């Protein structure tokens, strides 16, 4: 802030000096009526101006800069990554518009609003059943295809190698593009022939993964990853490295133990204040796996509760941010891609306004998030008729 004040004063001084006439040698001329020494009144005036300016800087440093400049919101990227670099070298934007549960005749407008606000990452899936409308919005936005990161996901019905390319082609057609920037295995569950699940492909996703690698080689996909490969709080006998290394995590390890041509670039999971997943986050960082946080403001109807958390409200007030902006900033500062979902234009724009939280405030929120018992996450196991919990 002091640097800003100095630059401000310097700019005004330069402007003032440029207004003065100069002689041919570039030396400033002075009027005969002006003394070479500053008058006492001028000294007092300059001192008063600098005192006022310093007071203003102190006020801004305490309350935070306003998030709106000239009537238009501007994203503050200071100290927060705008992108992460994947093993392929591609740069994935750190914040995306999620379109899960975005209904017909509203998702398209949300996508166009997001792209106009500066988003360049749209996260969707075949099962969301809105890829046609998303694709039309992408085209109508006028933003070049190469400037937009598009993610879709392979649904449970299509894990068999022979089903993968037709499923991918269907998403490509609906989205109006000839390639995806990211394609994810949506859930660690394969279903086939009317059965609740295909046990062989569920326990060993390597054949599925090999076909995804082929899609990269064909140029239909640039990066591949997984989704919902979460961890649980009971260790299996074959996974005893430490208390919080769990079954689904070991299954990911089993996948990567194969002779993969391409390692998973990301794992997209539910992460929010109520399900902070610190163990998975730590493991992912140690193994160069980027996490993406869906339902970042809270799943299972917990958004309102999240925005009312005392620590979040206190940080928002201190920094001049909204509670949602604080939470989204926290996610990125933890090192994850964040996928906030909204179809309300004002909230779509609001969610893109992020800034780094000062370390003490970041630690305050992190401590609050990991200190409570995790809230039950979104879990479709019963609805799918499974005889086991997909997260166990």
Phi, psi of 179 (to 5 degrees): -155, 155
Residue 352 phi, psi (nearest 5): -90, -10
Is 273 marked active-site?
Answer: no
Distance from chain centroid for Cα 142: 23
| First-residue to last-residue Cα distance in the chain | 50
Closest among 121, 113, 112, 65 to 336, alpha carbons compared: 121
List the Cα angle 144/145/151 in 5-degree steps.
140
Burial of 255 (0-12, 13-18, 19+ CB in 10 A): buried
Please report, for the chain, how many H helices and E strands are present, in that order: 14, 12
**CA of 321: how far to CAs of 65, 70, 146, 235, 366, in Å?**
10, 17, 32, 40, 17
The length of the chain, given as a count of residues: 392
Angstrom distance (rounded) from CA 336 to CA 324: 16
Burial of 39 (0-12, 13-18, 19+ CB in 10 A): exposed
Sign of torsion over alpha carbons 80, 85, 91, 94: negative
Please pick, among 84, 119, 128, 294, the residue that the annotation labels catalytic: 128
Token pair of 137 as six digits: 């919005």
Active site residues: 128
């Amino acid at each position: 802030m002091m640097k800003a004040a100095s630059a401000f004063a310097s700019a005004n001084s330069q402007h003032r000096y440029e207004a003065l006439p100069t002689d041919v040698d570039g030396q400033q001329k002075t009027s005969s009526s002006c003394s070479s020494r500053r008058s006492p009144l001028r000294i007092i005036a300059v001192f008063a101006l600098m005192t006022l300016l310093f007071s203003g800087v102190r006020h801004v440093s305490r309350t935070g800069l306003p998030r709106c400049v000239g009537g238009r919101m501007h994203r503050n990227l200071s100290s927060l990554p705008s992108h992460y670099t994947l093993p392929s070298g591609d740069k994935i934007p750190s914040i995306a518009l999620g379109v899960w549960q975005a209904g017909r005749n509203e998702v398209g407008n949300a996508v166009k609003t997001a792209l106009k606000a500066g988003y360049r990452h749209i996260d969707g899936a075949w099962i969301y059943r809105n890829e046609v409308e998303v694709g039309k919005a992408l085209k109508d936005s006028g933003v070049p295809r190469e400037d937009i990161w598009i993610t879709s996901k392979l649904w449970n019905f299509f894990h068999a190698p022979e089903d993968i390319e037709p499923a991918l082609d269907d998403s490509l057609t609906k989205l109006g593009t000839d390639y995806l920037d990211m394609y994810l295995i949506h859930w660690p569950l394969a279903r086939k022939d009317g059965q609740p699940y295909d046990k062989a492909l569920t326990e060993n996703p390597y054949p599925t993964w090999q076909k995804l690698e082929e899609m990269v080689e064909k140029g239909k996909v640039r990066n591949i990853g997984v989704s919902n490969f979460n961890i649980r709080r009971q260790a299996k006998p074959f996974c005893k490295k430490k208390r919080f290394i769990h079954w689904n995590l070991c299954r990911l390890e089993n996948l990567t133990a194969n002779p993969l041509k391409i390692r998973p670039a990301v794992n997209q999971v539910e992460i929010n204040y109520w399900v902070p997943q610190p163990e998975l986050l730590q493991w992912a960082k140690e193994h160069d796996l980027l996490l993406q946080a869906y339902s970042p403001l809270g799943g299972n109807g917990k958004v309102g509760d999240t925005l009312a958390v005392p620590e979040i409200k206190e940080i928002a007030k201190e920094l001049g941010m909204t509670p949602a902006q604080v939470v989204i900033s926290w996610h990125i500062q933890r090192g994850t891609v964040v996928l906030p979902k909204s179809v309300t234009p004002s909230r779509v724009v609001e969610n893109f306004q992020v800034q780094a939280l000062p370390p003490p405030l970041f630690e305050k929120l992190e401590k609050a998030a990991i200190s409570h018992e995790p809230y039950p996450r979104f879990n479709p196991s019963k609805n799918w008729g499974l005889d086991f919990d997909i997260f166990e």
